[in-house]
């Protein structure tokens, strides 16, 4: 039986997904040989979430009924892990599985306690009968509390008490009741400082990283959910998708692609043939702040300033990305590319997971197939063109002092920079390009800093010390040579301008300097870890760790 027929023109399975990545329709061949819709829903697991899937599986297998809190920004994909938990629980309990799901944001604040714990008749106006409450309903099963952070603080305290000893009482009742064998799974976009500290700490916290920390997943979401759009991408559009920080996460991708689909339809069915229509990626500001035209603006800005844009564009195009809108090549012009993307049989040398596993590909495929069947998810293999495009984006970031995971549109090169760099991308630059690439680095540095490096000066590729000097040390030496340089002041968070005259940062070792740097950021931004993370180019969780290691107190 053919369960996933392919479009004859593109080789794409005829599938459609909702905004959370659920498979909402599929074509299946019935006994008469006619393809009809099949309603089974599946979640997509792009490479950036695969390790999290393994971690979540380990957590639920070993948590022994302890409450779990799934956290992460809005639209990041928390529903995938709720779905995984439900599938795991149903297989564990079989026909006795009992799962109740409540969205706490739908509760009236004044009635939240009643919704959870129930009430007795006459407890308040309108309480004309006894109500059991969700806790009682979920006894012997699982209670999933979506948007649990919306519960009022007093209700959080009462739920915490119940989690501790299983005891509660209904609103308007003094009788202590007990509910046994209830597993609680919560999900929220709130942060620790937005909820009761004791409540937050009682849960096993499972964090889902935002899309800007795993930008390579963007192309997978587009390809799997909207395959007709991925075919249309030009190099400058691909770079724009990777460079954008997607504050709305997966939901924003959905809004953007729907906007693009509407524009594509208008172009294909243009009733006014003599009127020039907008480009495919001319996205309404109502849907997103993504503006791919910024790539072309940057291209011409670089060209006006003497940058070797021809070589730069040629280099980037080798990775399926670029800046110039004059390049009309398509992302999927390579023959048989879809077959490689869609089939587990066509696997890259480093495996379909990209996690560096040493096991044989056949075993790797079998493991993933078992996960797909167990949790009813879909794990697409690593797509070579997507991996190459990510490398092109990394090279762009290396040149313009960006971290690929910045919570920031990296095409805006004059807004946020870092002394760090991911020098591993040098291994993926063709040897015949390396000499020109060194000149390109100096041109990019001059464009950003207005400092013209001599031929003898070499801008180190890495952000931390290794066998030679680091970028950090190199830039500090330049800061001493060019006091008041705006770019260098911005890159070090204005610390150079505000430093105590009695402190000579140029005599500090790297450990001392890092502590001084983060102490300065903490003084400037207070306890806003998100802002410190954005400036330093680290993830929010990574910034928490660094601050604690430096002895900096963050509430």
Other beta carbons within 10 angstroms of residue 58's beta carbon come to: 10
Q: What whole-number distance in Å separates Cα of residue 134 and Cα of residue 142?
A: 10
Task: Please tell me the predicted confidence (pLDDT) of residue 224.
Answer: 80
DSSP label of 62: H
Q: What whole-number distance in Å separates Cα of residue 242 and Cα of residue 404?
A: 9
Kindly list the averaged pLDDT for each block of 10 residues, start to end, along the chain of length 555. 31 39 41 38 84 95 94 93 95 89 88 90 85 91 95 93 91 87 95 91 94 93 82 88 94 86 77 60 73 89 95 91 86 47 39 57 82 90 81 93 91 86 81 91 95 88 59 85 86 57 62 75 72 71 76 69
CB 160 within 8 Å of CB 202: yes
For 106-141, write each residue's pLDDT tens digit. 888 888 989 999 898 888 888 888 888 899 999 999
Task: Please tell me the predicted confidence (pLDDT) of residue 246.
Answer: 94
Q: How many helices (H) and strands (E) does the chain have?
A: 22, 12
3-state DSSP percent of the chain in helix, strand and coil, to 5: 45, 10, 45
Q: What whole-number distance in Å separates Cα of residue 103 and Cα of residue 116?
A: 11
CB 542 within 8 Å of CB 533: yes
For 318-360, write each residue's pLDDT tens digit. 888 999 988 877 766 644 433 443 333 334 444 555 555 566 7
pTM summary value: 0.78
Collapsing DSSP to helix, strand or coil, 271 comes out as coil
Task: Please tell me the predicted confidence (pLDDT) of residue 503.
Answer: 62
Task: Please tell me the predicted confidence (pLDDT) of residue 279.
Answer: 62
DSSP bridge pairs for 207: 71
Among 10, 60, 14, 69, smallest CA distance to 37 is for: 14
Q: What whole-number distance in Å separates Cα of residue 494 and Cα of residue 483?
A: 12
Write down the H helix ranges in 166-292: 197-202, 217-225, 227-230, 235-243, 249-268
DSSP label of 206: E
For the chain, the residue count is: 555
**Helix orientation angle between 235-243 and 309-317, rounded to the nearest 10 degrees:** 80
Collapsing DSSP to helix, strand or coil, 1 comes out as coil
Q: What whole-number distance in Å separates Cα of residue 287 and Cα of residue 281?
A: 12
Task: Please tell me the predicted confidence (pLDDT) of residue 208.
Answer: 95
Other beta carbons within 10 angstroms of residue 410's beta carbon come to: 25
Residue written as token pair 């910024």: 294
Other beta carbons within 10 angstroms of residue 283's beta carbon come to: 23
Q: What whole-number distance in Å separates Cα of residue 83 and Cα of residue 375?
A: 8
Task: Please tell me the predicted confidence (pLDDT) of residue 308.
Answer: 96
């Amino acid at each position: 039986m053919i369960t996933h027929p392919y479009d004859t023109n593109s080789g794409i399975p005829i599938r459609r997904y909702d905004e959370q990545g659920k498979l909402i329709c599929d074509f299946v061949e019935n006994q008469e040989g006619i393809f009809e819709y099949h309603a089974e829903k599946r979640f997509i697991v792009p490479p950036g979430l695969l390790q999290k899937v393994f971690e979540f599986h380990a957590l639920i297998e070993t948590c022994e009924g302890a409450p779990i809190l799934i956290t992460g920004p809005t639209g990041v994909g928390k529903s995938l892990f709720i779905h995984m938990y439900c599938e795991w629980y149903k297989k564990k309990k079989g026909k006795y599985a009992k799962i109740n799901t409540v969205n706490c944001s739908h509760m009236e604040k004044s009635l939240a306690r009643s919704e959870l714990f129930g009430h007795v008749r006459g407890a308040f106006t309108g309480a004309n009968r006894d109500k059991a409450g969700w806790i009682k309903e979920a006894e012997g099963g699982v209670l999933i509390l979506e948007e649990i952070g919306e519960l009022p603080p007093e209700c959080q305290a009462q739920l915490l008490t119940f989690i501790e000893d299983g005891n509660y009482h209904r609103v308007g009742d003094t009788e202590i009741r007990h509910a046994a064998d209830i597993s609680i799974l919560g999900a929220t976009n709130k942060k620790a400082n937005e909820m009761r500290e004791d409540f937050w700490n009682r849960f096993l916290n499972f964090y889902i990283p935002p899309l800007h920390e795993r930008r390579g997943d963007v192309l997978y979401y587009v390809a799997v959910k909207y395959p007709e759009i991925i075919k249309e991408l030009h190099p400058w559009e691909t770079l724009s998708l990777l460079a954008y920080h997607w504050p709305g996460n997966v939901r924003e991708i959905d809004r953007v692609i729907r906007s693009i689909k509407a524009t594509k339809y208008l172009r294909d069915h243009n009733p006014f043939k003599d009127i020039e229509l907008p480009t495919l990626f001319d996205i309404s500001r109502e849907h997103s702040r993504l503006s791919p035209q910024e790539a072309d603006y940057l291209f011409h800005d670089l060209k006006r300033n003497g940058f070797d844009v021809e070589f730069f564009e040629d280099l980037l195009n080798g990775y399926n990305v670029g800046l110039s809108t004059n390049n009309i090549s398509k992302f999927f012009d390579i023959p048989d590319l879809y077959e490689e993307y869609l089939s587990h049989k066509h696997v890259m040398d480093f495996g379909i997971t990209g996690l560096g596993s040493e096991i044989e590909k056949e075993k790797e495929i079998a493991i993933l197939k078992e996960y797909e069947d167990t949790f009813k998810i879909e794990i697409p293999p690593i797509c070579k063109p997507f991996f190459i495009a990510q490398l092109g984006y990394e090279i762009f970031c290396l040149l313009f002092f960006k971290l690929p995971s910045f919570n920031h549109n990296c095409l805006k090169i004059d807004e946020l920079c870092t002394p760090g760099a991911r020098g591993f991308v040098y291994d993926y630059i063709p040897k015949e390009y390396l000499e020109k690439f060194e000149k390109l680095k100096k041109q990019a540095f001059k464009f950003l800093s207005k400092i013209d490096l001599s031929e003898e000066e070499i801008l180190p590729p890495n952000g931390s010390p290794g066998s030679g000097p680091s970028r950090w040390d190199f830039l500090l030496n330049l800061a001493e040579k060019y006091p008041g340089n705006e770019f260098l002041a911005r890159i070090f968070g204005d610390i150079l301008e505000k430093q105590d005259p009695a402190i000579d940062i140029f005599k500090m070792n790297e450990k001392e300097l890092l502590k001084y740097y983060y102490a300065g950021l903490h003084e400037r931004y207070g306890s806003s870890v998100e802002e410190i993370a954005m400036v330093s180019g680290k993830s929010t969780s990574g910034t928490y760790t660094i601050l604690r290691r430096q002895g900096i107190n963050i509430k």
